[in-house]
């Protein structure tokens, strides 16, 4: 965990969008607002290089100089998410191709395929130019590579470049075509290949492709992002010692953020609580209505914890929603106070910085309806006022803090790829399963650390939850078996080997836990399987369910008497997808066994612990009572621990 760092604020600024005359006033106003950070440069390629090879860095020099001299620290973004139009003439085949075979044309952003070597060289070139010029600039205190990898569904590309690269990747990973055929079970339906050159991308097949094929393509696509990012990082690092980051997005699981994060000092993410509730949280309509102006009470927290892990402890919110956005199906305005609350939610989870996106609302182009800290007419927007309040509060606030939590939750991008390749039932996703468990834990008042799947040392955790880990390596099984925490496993734990094949012995095959999944079913959402009541606790399985056998203790049953979960005392395997009540039922018992104290928060109230302080937030529309006292709607409460 990082120590002795002050919590800070910042914003995202596009000097190229505004007359140079106002840059200095803008910089002063940022400083007066209490901001520390200002991110610039991303998306500016057509201004840096309007014509191939004709470079114009002078304006950026001046912008950085003005901002720096005003006392701000600059985060410099590489502009590779927006190659200029002339690049398409140089590399007509650099664009990604969608699953229907259509090239994804110029005219917005992210119009490149991660597998196109020509574009990767262009990326290296512009990054090198930036790194050389600003690597020692005293005001450039951090870097950002590209922007929001994966936004707009841009990881999977079905281009010729991707096909060629995929074949090489397969050769690297399987060695021989015989090994691949065997690993994938290509004998089924005579899908055997004679050479890697025969393998196509898994789109437009007559019916679904082999899930092993799909999974390999997803892994390949994920690796291409890591390679692309690493090239930028290495180029920057040759010239700069400032930390390098990337700004991830919410619920993008098409590439392994941990792998990308391995090459970066800091993870940042772009947090749009209202936009995300509308377009990706996946909540029921009444929940969406209830929290339309506040955002889901757990979605930000989940990503804060996730990106803290991706950043190996160091993380920021690089873009914080400052008012209505433009891109969701519906774009409501936040309740007054939420722009402050969201910042405190981030600090509660250990954020070093929270940067509002963006400084001033741009009156033109795609995001003209995206609020800023300033209105297009330069007047203060509500976000500016709330940011000022946060800045004021930060003066007397403690440093960045994120002590180890009592609960660990493993998140594995590769498992999400596998579930996506074979959800087995409509609408089932790994992300949703893990998030459901997260929400239940948080409703029990718990602070959570998210861990990457390579974790083997669970020292200090009282509970380790690893739901849905469809591929579980032997050494992870042993590590979990051997740790002293209460461990939650299932459903689908170890249900596939590395190549998406069902293992024998049948799953979960965990040392020390005698339970076997003998059959699996997915269920219509209107066919819940009730769990047997225990006191007031009840709940059900919904959507997915496994038939279990074994000699371990049955710790949860269906109402019909069939076993729902087994335990050996410290490892519990649950054979289904619980509803909220079901997870609470199960987790309460687990916490009791682990001697973890819980208290159930109500409605939109949540809390998280930092060193010495429990930070309460209220996403509800009404005041609420907490053990620490009354909390207003959209309020934040600090409780000394």
Active-site positions read 148, 319
Within residues 39-78, the interface with Zn ion by CB under 5 A covers: 54
Q: Which residue has the tokens 């209105």?
A: 375
Query: Could you say which of Zn ion, its own copies, none residue 422 binds, taking C-beta under 5 to 8 angstroms by partner kind?
Result: its own copies
Query: Could you say which of its own copies, Zn ion, none residue 203 binds, taking C-beta under 5 to 8 angstroms by partner kind?
Result: its own copies
The H-or-E segment that residue 140 falls in is: strand 140-144
Query: Could you say which of Zn ion, its own copies, none residue 624 binds, taking C-beta under 5 to 8 angstroms by partner kind?
Result: none
Q: Choose, by CB under 8 A, the member of 2, 137, 164, 288 that binds its own copies.
A: 288
Please identify, among the stretches 162-170, 179-187, 242-250, 408-416, the one whose residues bind its own copies according to the rule CB under 8 A. 179-187
Closest CB to its own copies among 121 and 518? 518
CB of 212 to Zn ion, least distance (A): 25
Question: Taking the CA of residue 64 as centre, how many other CA atoms within 13 Å lie in the half-sphere pointing to its CB?
Answer: 24
d(CA 321, CA 325): 7
Please identify, among the stretches 20-28, 159-167, 241-249, 330-338, the one whose residues bind its own copies according to the rule CB under 8 A. 330-338
Q: Choose, by CB under 8 A, the member of 5, 168, 333, 551 that binds its own copies.
A: 333
Q: Choose, by CB under 8 A, the member of 29, 73, 133, 213 that binds its own copies.
A: 213
Closest CB to Zn ion among 54 and 622? 54
Q: Which of 528, 424, 514, 426 is nearest to 470 (CA)?
A: 424
Please identify, among the stretches 195-203, 222-230, 587-595, 606-614, the one whose residues bind its own copies according to the rule CB under 8 A. 195-203
Query: Could you say which of Zn ion, its own copies, none residue 212 binds, taking C-beta under 5 to 8 angstroms by partner kind?
Result: its own copies
d(CA 470, CA 497): 8
Please identify, among the stretches 203-211, 335-343, 430-438, 465-473, the one whose residues bind its own copies according to the rule CB under 8 A. 203-211
| CB-CB contact of 486 with 441 (8 Å) | no
CB of 18 to its own copies, least distance (A): 10
Query: Could you say which of its own copies, Zn ion, none residue 184 binds, taking C-beta under 5 to 8 angstroms by partner kind?
Result: its own copies
Q: How far is CA 270 from the centre of its chain?
A: 9
Within residues 50-69, the interface with its own copies by CB under 8 A covers: 50-51
Q: In what order do the strands lie in the sheet with 636-640?
A: 605-610, 613-618, 636-640
Q: Choose, by CB under 8 A, the member of 121, 176, 366, 404 that binds its own copies.
A: 366
CB of 55 to Zn ion, least distance (A): 8
CB of 209 to its own copies, least distance (A): 4
Length of the chain: 641
Please identify, among the stretches 23-31, 103-111, 578-586, 632-640, the one whose residues bind its own copies according to the rule CB under 8 A. 103-111
Query: Could you say which of Zn ion, its own copies, none residue 305 binds, taking C-beta under 5 to 8 angstroms by partner kind?
Result: none
**For its own copies, what does the binding mask look like between residues 451 and 490, x meaning CB under 8 A?**
----------------------------------------
Backbone CA torsion sign across 13, 14, 19, 24: positive
Q: Which of 153, 157, 165 is nearest to 98 (CA)?
A: 157
Query: Could you say which of Zn ion, its own copies, none residue 54 binds, taking C-beta under 5 to 8 angstroms by partner kind?
Result: Zn ion
User: Max Cα separation, the chain?
Assistant: 76
Query: Could you say which of its own copies, Zn ion, none residue 460 binds, taking C-beta under 5 to 8 angstroms by partner kind?
Result: none
d(CA 349, CA 469): 25
Which residues, in sequence order, are bridge partners of residue 247? 268
d(CA 95, CA 87): 10
594-605 b/e with 16+ CB inside 10 Å = b? bebebeebeebb
d(CA 209, CA 156): 15
Q: Determine if 429 is a binding residue for its own copies (CB under 8 A).
A: no
Which residues, in sequence order, are bridge partners of residue 340? none
Q: Choose, by CB under 8 A, the member of 6, 69, 90, 105 that binds its own copies.
A: 105
**For its own copies, what does the binding mask look like between residues 573 and 592, x meaning CB under 8 A?**
--------------------
The H-or-E segment that residue 47 falls in is: helix 45-48
CB of 112 to its own copies, least distance (A): 9
Within residues 290-319, the interface with its own copies by CB under 8 A covers: 292
Binding residue count for Zn ion, defined by CB under 5 A: 1
CB of 279 to its own copies, least distance (A): 10
Please identify, among the stretches 131-139, 166-174, 355-363, 388-396, the one whose residues bind its own copies according to the rule CB under 8 A. 355-363
Backbone angles phi, psi at 305, to 5 degrees: -65, -40
| CB-CB contact of 134 with 245 (8 Å) | no
Residue 451: left if φ>0, alpha if ψ -120 to 50, beta else—which one?
beta
d(CA 151, CA 134): 27
Provide DSSP, 116-151. Answer: -HHHHHHHHHHHHHHHHHHTT-TTEEEEE-SS-TTT
What is the SS3 assignment for 502?
A: coil
Q: Which residue has the tokens 């920057």?
A: 236
Query: Could you say which of Zn ion, its own copies, none residue 84 binds, taking C-beta under 5 to 8 angstroms by partner kind?
Result: its own copies
Residue 350: left if φ>0, alpha if ψ -120 to 50, beta else—which one?
left
**Judging by DSSP bridges, how do beta strands 448-451 and 407-410 pair with one another?**
parallel
Q: Which of 355, 358, 356, 354 is nearest to 366 (CA)?
A: 358
Closest CB to Zn ion among 52 and 525? 52
Please identify, among the stretches 95-103, 465-473, 480-488, 572-580, the one whose residues bind its own copies according to the rule CB under 8 A. 95-103
CB of 309 to its own copies, least distance (A): 28
Within residues 409-428, the interface with Zn ion by CB under 5 A covers: none
Q: How far is CA 400 from the centre of its chain?
A: 21
Closest CB to its own copies among 278 and 296? 278
How many other β-carbons are positioned within 10 Å of the β-carbon of residue 242?
21
Site residues (vs Zn ion, CB under 5 A) = 54
């Amino acid at each position: 965990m990082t120590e002795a760092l002050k919590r800070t604020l910042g914003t995202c600024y596009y000097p190229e969008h505004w007359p140079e005359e106002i840059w200095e006033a803008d910089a002063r106003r940022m400083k007066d607002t209490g901001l520390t950070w200002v991110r610039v440069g991303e998306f500016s390629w057509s201004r840096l290089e309007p014509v191939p090879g004709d470079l114009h860095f002078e304006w950026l020099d001046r912008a950085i100089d003005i901002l720096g001299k005003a006392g701000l620290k600059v985060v410099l973004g590489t502009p590779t998410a927006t190659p200029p139009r002339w690049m398409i003439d140089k590399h007509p085949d650099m664009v990604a191709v969608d699953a229907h075979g259509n090239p994804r044309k110029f005219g917005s952003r992210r119009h490149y395929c991660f597998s196109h070597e020509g574009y990767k060289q262009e990326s290296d070139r512009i990054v090198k130019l930036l790194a050389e010029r600003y690597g020692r600039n005293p005001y450039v205190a951090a870097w950002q590579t590209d922007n929001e990898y994966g936004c707009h569904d841009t990881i999977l590309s079905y281009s010729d470049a991707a096909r060629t690269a995929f074949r090489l990747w397969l050769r690297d990973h399987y060695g021989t075509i015989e090994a691949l055929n065997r690993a994938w079970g290509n004998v089924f339906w005579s899908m055997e290949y004679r050479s890697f050159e025969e393998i196509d991308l898994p789109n437009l097949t007559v019916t679904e492709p082999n899930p092993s094929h799909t999974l390999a393509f997803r892994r390949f696509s994920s690796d291409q992002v890591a390679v692309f990012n690493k090239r930028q990082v290495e180029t920057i690092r040759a010239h700069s010692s400032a930390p390098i980051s990337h700004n991830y997005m919410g619920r993008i699981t098409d590439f392994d953020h941990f792998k990308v994060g391995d090459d970066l000092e800091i993870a940042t993410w772009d947090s749009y609580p209202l936009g995300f509730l509308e377009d990706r949280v996946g909540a029921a309509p009444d929940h969406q209505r209830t929290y339309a102006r506040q955002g889901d009470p757990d979605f930000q927290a989940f990503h804060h914890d996730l990106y803290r892990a991706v950043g190996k402890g160091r993380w920021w919110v690089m873009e914080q929603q400052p008012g209505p956005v433009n891109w969701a199906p519906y774009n409501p305005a936040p309740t007054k106070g939420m722009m402050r609350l969201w910042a405190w939610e981030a600090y509660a989870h250990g954020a070093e910085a929270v940067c509002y996106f963006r400084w001033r609302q741009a009156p033109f182009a795609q995001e003209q309806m995206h609020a800023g800290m300033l209105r297009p007419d330069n007047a203060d927007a509500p976000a500016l006022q709330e940011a000022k309040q946060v800045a004021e509060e930060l003066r007397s606030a403690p440093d960045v803090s994120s002590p180890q939590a009592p609960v660990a939750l493993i998140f594995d991008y590769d498992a999400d790829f596998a579930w996506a390749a074979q959800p087995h039932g409509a609408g089932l996703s790994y992300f949703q399963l893990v998030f459901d468990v997260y929400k239940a834990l948080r409703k029990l008042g718990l602070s959570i650390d998210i861990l990457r799947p390579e974790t083997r040392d669970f020292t200090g955790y009282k509970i380790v939850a690893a739901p849905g880990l469809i591929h579980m390596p032997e050494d992870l099984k042993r590590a979990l078996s051997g740790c002293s925490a209460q461990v939650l496993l299932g459903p689908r734990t170890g249900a596939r080997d590395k190549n998406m094949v069902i293992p024998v012995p049948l799953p979960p095959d965990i040392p020390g836990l005698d339970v076997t999944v003998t059959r699996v079913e997915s269920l219509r959402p209107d066919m819940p399987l009730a769990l047997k009541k225990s006191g007031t606790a009840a709940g059900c399985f919904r959507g997915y369910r496994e038939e279990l056998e074994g000699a371990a203790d049955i710790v949860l049953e269906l109402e019909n008497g069939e076993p729902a979960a087994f335990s050996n005392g410290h490892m519990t395997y649950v054979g289904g997808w619980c509803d909220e009540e079901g997870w609470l039922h199960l987790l309460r018992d687990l916490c009791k066994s682990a001697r973890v104290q819980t208290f159930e928060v109500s409605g939109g109230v949540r809390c998280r612990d930092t060193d010495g302080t429990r930070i309460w937030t209220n996403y509800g529309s009404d005041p609420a009572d907490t053990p620490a006292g009354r909390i207003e709607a959209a309020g934040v409460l600090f409780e000394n621990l």
